[in-house]
Structure 1
Amino acid sequence: MVARFRVLSLMIQKQRLLFVTGTRADFGKIEPLAKAAIADGFSVSFFVTGMHMLESYGLTKIEVNRLAGASVHEFVNQRPGDPQDVILAKTMLGFSDFIMEDKPDLVLVHGDRVEALACALVCATNYVKCAHIEGGEVSGTIDEILRHCNSKLAYCHFVSSQTAARRVQALGEDDSSIHVIGSPELDIHGQPSGFTLQDVLSHYEIRTADYGICILHPVTSEAATMGQQAQDLCAALQASGKYFVVIKPNNDPGSEGILKVLETLPRSQFQIIPSMRFGRFSELLRNAGCLVGNSSAGVREAPFLGVASLDVGTRQTDRAFGPSISKLPASDMQGILQFIETNWHKRFARGAEFGDGNATEHFITLLNSEAFWQRSMQKQFHDIAS
């Protein structure tokens, strides 16, 4: 009876949630969850690091600080040019110091970034509950390896699809720790963005409402060739004669080659933007002629909005398929031109592989479940029955 009273008392007080964010992209995915948790009475804080702290990438920590009701701790974990292992080590040291003081009940990390891996490692070695968001997905690059590592380190898993859930289970994770909630960012895309298209065009000085979007991130295992891939892709986009809004890549190895190519593009046909507020990006995407590049937005958000996307290269290998998604190497100029000509402003039925836009509802239901908090932290490998 005493033990049950303590559990009920804990539930009434609500737990302290700490979200880790290192990029504009992962913040866009976890912001809906954080807002829902704040509204439901949980104590919410953010550990802000990575690209958020770099002025060259738009100093996007500003976006996190705009979130009402959440406390924010900022940590600079890198200098320009730092290799991934150094960033990993710096983040572990900073995060370890922080949680010894903050003492969260649950740390939430997202995806496959090195910052997420650092924080998941700190949580595992200190027996702090850690939830991994959007594990169980594949891409065929180092990102996939980091993502699976995060899953193995985590206390529980908020995955985006049944397919992802099966993959996490195949890693030996207990089925009771795996929760299919969908992709949180689709909650935003499923609602009005809060901006008009004209607002977005004016804010970013985009010349025309007849535009496409290009996002090309580096593939770390192909860092030496990313400059050439960017050059090939941008040559095709330039040859199409269409106007493109280009969002700068993340800062993984290989980004320098991409950025050098972007600097050469004519501003009459390309508008280069360091980063975008998520609501504005949502409005831009839903009105785009198409999306080209290797961002996860091309295999997740664009299909949800019915926008045609061209997945370029290997970064999203085997991650998703659908009638709105095409796949080509950056070197296939004729194929890229054909895609643009055929799919410009073509609309498809909404893709529902990554959820129905209700991830936050599923998330809050789980957080308010007594069983969610009472699972043992002693992990065991669960073989899949043959």
Structure 2
Amino acid sequence: MRKILVVTGTRSEYGLLYWTMKRINEDNELELQLIVTGNHLVSEYGYTVETIKKDGFKIDEEIDMMVNSNKKSGIAKSMGLELIQMAQTFDKLKPDLMLILGDRYEIFIAATCAMIMNIPIAHMNGGESTEGAIDEQMRHAITKMAHIHFPGAEYYKERIIKMGEEPWRVFNVGQAGIENIKRLKLLNRKQLEDELNIKLDKKIFIITYHPVTLDVENIGQQVDNLLEAVKRFDAIYIFTYPNADFGSEIIINKIKKFVKENSNANIFYNLGQKIYLSLLKYADVMIGNSSSGIIESPIFKLPVVNIGDRQKGRLRNNNIIDTRYTHDSIYNGIYKALFNKEFKNKLKDLQNIYGDGLTSQKIVDVIKNIRLDKKLIFKRLTY
């Protein structure tokens, strides 16, 4: 029986891993091992380790590695703590293969540790680009450490191959977020109101703004501009928490102050996949700089106002309105999303570029059947 180790550090990443983890867990030829770390173990971010437990997954190790700090060095120190504990856990669990997703520093450390310890790495969502975030470098570094690649689109598959990865290692499995939408039974509007305890009787704005890690000095002004632009519209504002990156505390404090001063504004640590995706179904516009706006929103034909450079470089559909960080640019983007007839007509013909929703099945088929031998571990460039 192959032992497949999954490492997860954030709520959004766990949501994308869920169906693959479930399929591994139910397969008679595979054993799921699970390490939970990062934001999952932080109360300020909803302590989402409890969600994982409620979903029925057995957690083999909880690695608490977050260093509380307002300095950039806090993240680097957290990474050091994680690496030590990760190595100890790998020694204990002895996985046959590690499956990870994305580009965050928690996952970068997991990949680094597995590479040093000669544990094969399967990586989801490689080949993408987010030029405004340090995640860009993390993702490509993980790609060069990984032995099996599960990109979310054909374009990303070709990009990984152009990075020198051997084609036989690269499998286009589509985006896991599409599978979530297709397999979850979403809430109707009344159920959604009951879950949120909010009367959704106005236009609905769902807003997620993460730190732009390569431009942290201007985060305060960026958030001020966003909030001033949003406030000019009569709507229900639903904010979700940013990632725990340097600068997130500034964003959270400003949003909390805004929520306190505006009765139609709400902020949530963790909505969970069903509530979050149901919100996308009924929202009038999504605002911010989250990858969810790029990947999941097109399924709902939802207009997205994408602010700044954080998602620059990703494949995108015609529902995306890119804006600068200025108040006027953000306001004009929201206005276009809500009232521009030509733009709204284009949404009717949106085509999904991110797969057929069979991601977990495709991944499990590969990790069950691929040979875990020296050919897999010994990588060579194919330039």
TM-score (norm. length: structure 2): 0.91
Residue pair 2:220, 2:250 contacting (<8 A) in 1 also:
yes
More off after superposition, 99-108 vs 261-270: 261-270
2:191 corresponds to which residue? 199
Aligned alpha-carbon RMSD (Å)? 2.0
More off after superposition, 226-235 vs 372-381: 372-381
CA distance in 2, matches of 1:328, 1:114: 27
Give the direction of change, closer, same or farther, for the CA distance of 1:103–1:134 in structure 2 (3 Å limit).
same
Give the direction of change, closer, same or farther, for the CA distance of 1:275–1:47 in structure 2 (3 Å limit).
same
1:285 corresponds to which residue? 280
Report deviation, 1:371. 4.2
Report deviation, 1:69. 5.0
Pick from 208, 217, 224: which aligns with 1:224? 217
Q: Aligned pair 1:319/2:314, yes or no?
A: yes
Pick from 143, 146, 152: which aligns with 2:138? 146
Matches within 5 A, 1:8-23: 13=1, 15-23=2-10
Q: Secondary structure at the match of 1:299?
A: helix
Residue pair 2:307, 2:330 contacting (<8 A) in 1 also:
no
CA distance in 2, matches of 1:168, 1:100: 30
Q: Secondary structure at the match of 1:179?
A: coil
CA distance in 2, matches of 1:343, 1:92: 50
Letter in 2 for 1:338: Y
CA distance in 2, matches of 1:267, 1:45: 44
2:163 corresponds to which residue? 171
Report deviation, 1:52. 0.5
1:159 corresponds to which residue? 151
Residue pair 2:317, 2:350 contacting (<8 A) in 1 also:
no
Unaligned runs of 5+ in 2: none
2:179 corresponds to which residue? 187
Q: Secondary structure at the match of 1:271?
A: strand
Q: Secondary structure at the match of 1:240?
A: coil
Letter in 2 for 1:154: A
Q: Percent identity at matched positions? A: 23
Letter in 2 for 1:67: D
1:24 corresponds to which residue? 11
2:124 corresponds to which residue? 133
CA distance in 2, matches of 1:229, 1:161: 31
CA distance in 2, matches of 1:274, 1:78: 17
2:77 corresponds to which residue? 86
Q: Aligned pair 1:339/2:336, yes or no?
A: yes
Partner deviation per Cα, 1:206-247 (whole Å, 9 max, x = no partner): 231541200000011111111111110111111012221110
1:380 corresponds to which residue? 380
Give the direction of change, closer, same or farther, for the CA distance of 1:372–1:360 in structure 2 (3 Å limit).
farther
CA distance in 2, matches of 1:350, 1:323: 7
Report deviation, 1:372. 6.7
2:295 corresponds to which residue? 300
Partner deviation per Cα, 1:251-306 (whole Å, 9 max, x = no partner): 10111221121022134221111111111111111111111110001100001222
1:95 corresponds to which residue? 86
* Matched pairs, number: 370
Report deviation, 1:135. 0.5
Matches within 5 A, 1:213-252: 213-252=206-245
Give the direction of change, closer, same or farther, for the CA distance of 1:348–1:297 in structure 2 (3 Å limit).
farther
Residue pair 2:68, 2:74 contacting (<8 A) in 1 also:
no
Letter in 2 for 1:246: F
CA distance in 2, matches of 1:227, 1:358: 40
CA distance in 1, matches of 2:320, 2:334: 15
More off after superposition, 35-44 vs 147-156: 35-44
Letter in 1 for 2:224: Q
2:49 corresponds to which residue? 61
Residue pair 1:236, 1:336 contacting (<8 A) in 2 also:
no
Report deviation, 1:376. 2.7
1:272 corresponds to which residue? 267
1:8 corresponds to which residue? none
Q: Secondary structure at the match of 1:286?
A: helix
Give the direction of change, closer, same or farther, for the CA distance of 1:372–1:366 in structure 2 (3 Å limit).
farther
Residue pair 1:32, 1:185 contacting (<8 A) in 2 also:
no
Letter in 2 for 1:64: I
2:361 corresponds to which residue? 361
Report deviation, 1:323. 1.3
